[in-house]
């Protein structure tokens, strides 16, 4: 008994373990991709069993007849096709489930009750184009497979923000679906759409199983590109008849570049086929190409998800026109074919390329020389195609016929005249007046009974005339010459300087340097005074009250000498004093002192002033002029005073002193 019970338990355990390995799939989703009645159905589900070797069978049950409508063994992973001829009428309600078999075990998914005719799932919408202008986004969408109108759900958002959504419907009669969405200007958005079929069957109006399509890919919606790209270029050296051009430009602003920007360039670089152009697309902001020597036109347009920028045109001019044929370019083309192109035009001013340019792929230069205007300069390029690149085989100016110039050089002038030389200058003859290739200029110099001539290259516009005589008159004539002969002369007269007249250039240089140095010195001096750059010279302050000799000076002690002097009354000034001894008079004159006594009106007696304590100094009293002005009556100086020019007058206490100062000393009178 125990043995049988153990075996039964083991069998049950194994059965439960194997049953646990059978995991059912999700409920099947069955639909067709359009509303066409003849469309077959597709059923899809999710596999949840990781075991290998499992088999799936789709069962469709008819609840009205209580029988199976069909069984479909799945040959594709997680998908089965239901053909309409096997299914029958799809308008009846059916139950659908998936049976999974793993080994000897089976398990079933959850049943789904649907009306298959109502199960329509469109493909996800495809945005054909977007155009944005001033905050309005116009969308163009593809039609569903059945070309009918649909119900759309659209959602949009700014980056890293929440979605906003709304629904709209489209009509059946259009070939494309359209919708207009209002957005904030100059703001970047993201957008997605999905759609749902419009079901017209009566059984499908209340159906809860209408299927939305998958969401479309998330697209960035930038602002429109308002400005055309600005192209800059660099040209490399000419080589083998071609030139390498490097074009580069800046990207639009961030709000216009969201989602990526593409650029389309077009080149018109083959003159013989004016409508033929090369078209190049790039995502980069630069482009390198090779072009020929003639003029090339280029246009560029920038595209983003909502439109394109204005078109920008640039013209790369031809290389500089030559005055003569380029000897480095050898013409070895003798026959015109589909790989050659001759381009020619008239140059009236020698440089400007006219708007009208002629070209031909069937002619060479020898074929057009008799077709162009005589005596007028023309220019031509002969282009070829080598290694799929356009090259210029030769470029050259040419005349059909030549003759002498019809004008002489203009603005003929003589300058830098010295006693033995002068400089002749002129303007070149215009190309329109040359009427041929200018070979050189002829210059005639006449004077002092002799005539000399010189030949100057055509590209030169000045000439140094040497070996002239001082103080002589000369006549100079100049004319241009082509292969056909000389043109009219242009004449000018001048006279050389004499030897003694004027300064040599060395003397002129020295004089100019001296004048400049003098002017600089004067200007600096005036500027220094005006701006007070130099310190002012201090002015000594003199005390008006009393002057004292500096005590710190090293003075040798001097002995006081006291002599007798005579006080003269004012009324006795006119009388000769006989009692003044010559010794006293001489002594007073040696000290430079003459004393006059002023009459006292009150008592009539002359006062005597004690001068024993008065100190004399080498400096005069600054107030003496004012004291002299206060004299009551004019006075007359003695003869000794008038004779001595180095005396200083002093007036104090009614007495007038005349002092001769020889050195600073102290005198006691």
Task: Give the DSSP letter string of 556-621.
Answer: -----------PEESTTTTSPPSSS-HHHHHHHHHTT--EEEPPPTTT--------TT----SSPP
Q: What is the full DSSP assignment across 353-407? A: PPS--EEESS--HHHHTTTSPTTS-EEEEEEEEETTEEEEEEEEEE-SS----SS
Give the Cβ contact number of residue 42 at 10 Å. Answer: 18
Look at residue 390 and tell me whether its pLDDT is greater than 60. Answer: yes
pLDDT bucket at 583, cuts 50 / 70 / 90: very low
Q: What is the pLDDT of residues 182-232, one digit of tens each?
A: 999 889 999 999 999 988 767 676 655 568 999 999 999 999 999 999 999
Look at residue 553 and tell me whether its pLDDT is greater than 70. Answer: no
Please indicate whether residue 179 or residue 635 has the higher confidence score (pLDDT): 179
Instruction: Give the pLDDT confidence score for residue 188 in this predicted structure.
Output: 94
Nearest to 221 by CA among 315, 127, 109: 127
pTM of this prediction exceeds 0.85: no
Please indicate whether residue 367 or residue 595 has the higher confidence score (pLDDT): 367
How far apart are the C-alpha atoms of 54 and 52, rounded to whole Å?
A: 6
CATH number of the domain at 127-221, out of 3.40.50.10800, 2.30.40.10, 2.60.40.10, 3.40.50.620? 2.60.40.10
Instruction: Give the end-to-end CA distance of the chain in Å, rounded to a whole number.
Output: 175
* Burial group, residue 99, by CB count within 10 angstroms (0-12, 13-18, 19+): middle
Instruction: Give the pLDDT confidence score for residue 638 in this predicted structure.
Output: 41
pLDDT bucket at 135, cuts 50 / 70 / 90: confident
Look at residue 416 and tell me whether its pLDDT is greater than 50. Answer: yes
Look at residue 603 and tell me whether its pLDDT is greater than 80. Answer: no
Q: What CATH architecture is 410-495?
A: Sandwich (2.60)
Instruction: Give the pLDDT confidence score for residue 194 in this predicted structure.
Output: 96
* Burial group, residue 342, by CB count within 10 angstroms (0-12, 13-18, 19+): buried
Q: What is the pLDDT of residues 11-21, one digit of tens each?
A: 444 444 444 57
Please indicate whether residue 173 or residue 428 has the higher confidence score (pLDDT): 428
Residue extents of the structural domains in the chain:
22-118, 127-221, 340-398, 410-495, 568-660
How far apart are the C-alpha atoms of 12 and 23, rounded to whole Å?
A: 19
104-108, 383-387, 595-599: range with lowest mean pLDDT: 595-599
Look at residue 131 and tell me whether its pLDDT is greater than 90. Answer: yes
How far apart are the C-alpha atoms of 223 and 259, rounded to whole Å?
A: 10
Domain 22-118 is found in CATH 2.60.120.260: no
**Gyration radius from the chain CA atoms:** 61
Look at residue 50 and tell me whether its pLDDT is greater than 90. Answer: no
How far apart are the C-alpha atoms of 332 and 406, rounded to whole Å?
A: 36
pLDDT bucket at 113, cuts 50 / 70 / 90: confident
Instruction: Answer for the pair 486, 428: CB distance below 8 angstroms, yes or no.
Output: no
Summarize the confidence of residues 602-608 as an average pLDDT: 42
Summarize the confidence of residues 602-612 as an average pLDDT: 41
Which residues lie below 8 Å from residue 664, measured CB to CB, with a gap of 6+? Answer: 549, 553, 555, 617, 618, 619
């Amino acid at each position: 008994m125990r043995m049988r019970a153990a075996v039964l338990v083991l069998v049950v355990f194994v059965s439960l373990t194997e049953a646990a390995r059978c995991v059912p799939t999700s409920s099947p989703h069955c639909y067709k991709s359009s509303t066409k009645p003849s469309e077959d159905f597709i059923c899809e589900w999710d596999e949840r069993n990781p075991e290998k070797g499992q088999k799936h069978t789709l069962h469709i049950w008819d609840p009205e007849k209580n029988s199976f409508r069909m069984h479909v063994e799945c040959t594709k992973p997680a998908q089965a096709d239901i053909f309409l001829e096997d299914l029958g009428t799809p308008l009846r309600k059916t139950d659908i489930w998936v049976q999974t078999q793993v080994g000897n075990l089976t398990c079933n998914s959850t049943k789904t009750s649907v009306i298959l005719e109502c199960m329509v799932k469109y493909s996800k919408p495809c945005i054909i184009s977007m155009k944005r202008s001033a905050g309005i986004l116009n969308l163009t969408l593809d039609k569903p497979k059945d070309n009918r109108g649909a119900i759309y759900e659209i959602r949009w958002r700014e980056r890293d923000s929440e979605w906003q959504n709304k629904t709209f419907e489209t009509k059946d009669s259009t070939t494309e679906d359209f919708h207009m969405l209002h957005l904030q200007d100059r703001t970047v958005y993201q957008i997605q759409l999905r759609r749902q079929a419009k079901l017209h069957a009566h059984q499908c109006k209340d159906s809860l199983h209408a299927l939305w399509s998958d969401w479309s890919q998330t697209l960035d919606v930038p602002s429109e590109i308002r400005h055309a790209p600005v192209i800059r270029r660099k040209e490399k050296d000419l080589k083998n008849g071609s030139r390498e051009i490097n074009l580069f430009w800046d990207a639009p602003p961030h709000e216009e570049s969201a989602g990526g920007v593409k650029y389309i360039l077009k080149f018109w670089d083959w003159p013989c086929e004016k409508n033929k152009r090369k078209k190049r697309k790039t995502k980069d902001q630069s482009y390198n190409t090779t072009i020929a020597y003639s003029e090339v036109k280029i246009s560029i347009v920038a595209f983003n998800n909502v439109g394109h920028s204005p078109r920008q045109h640039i013209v790369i001019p031809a290389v500089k026109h030559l005055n003569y044929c380029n000897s480095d370019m050898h013409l070895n083309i003798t026959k015109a074919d589909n790989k050659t192109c001759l381009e020619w035009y008239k140059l009236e001013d020698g440089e400007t390329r006219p708007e009208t340019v002629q070209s031909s792929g069937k002619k060479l230069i020898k074929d057009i020389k008799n077709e162009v205007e005589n005596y007028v300069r023309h220019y031509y390029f002969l282009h070829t195609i080598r290694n799929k690149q356009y090259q210029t085989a030769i470029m050259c100016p040419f005349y059909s016929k030549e003759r002498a110039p019809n004008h002489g050089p203009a603005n003929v002038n003589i300058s830098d005249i010295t006693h033995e030389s002068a400089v002749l200058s002129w303007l070149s003859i215009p190309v329109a007046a040359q009427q041929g290739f200018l070979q050189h200029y002829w210059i005639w110099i006449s004077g002092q009974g002799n005539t000399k001539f010189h030949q100057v290259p055509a590209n030169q516009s000045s000439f140094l005339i040497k070996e002239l005589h001082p103080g002589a008159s000369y006549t100079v004539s100049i004319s241009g010459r082509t292969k056909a002969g000389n043109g009219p002369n242009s004449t000018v007269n001048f006279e050389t300087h004499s030897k003694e007249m004027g300064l040599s250039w060395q003397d002129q240089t020295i004089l100019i340097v001296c004048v400049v140095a003098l002017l600089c010195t004067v200007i600096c001096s005036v500027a220094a005074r005006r701006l007070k750059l130099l310190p002012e010279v201090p002015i000594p302050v003199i005390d008006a009250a009393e002057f004292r000799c500096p005590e710190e000076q090293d003075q040798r002690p001097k002995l006081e000498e006291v002599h007798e002097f005579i006080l003269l009354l004012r009324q006795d000034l006119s009388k000769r004093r006989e009692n003044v001894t010559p010794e006293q008079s001489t002594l007073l004159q040696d000290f430079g002192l003459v004393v006059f006594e002023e009459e006292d009106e009150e008592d009539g007696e002359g006062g005597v002033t004690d001068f024993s304590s008065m100190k004399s100094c080498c400096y005069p009293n600054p107030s003496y002029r004012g004291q002299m002005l206060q004299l009551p009556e004019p006075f007359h100086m003695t003869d000794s005073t008038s004779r001595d020019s180095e005396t200083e007058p002093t007036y104090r206490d009614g007495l007038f002193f005349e002092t001769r100062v020889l050195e600073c000393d102290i005198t006691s009178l």
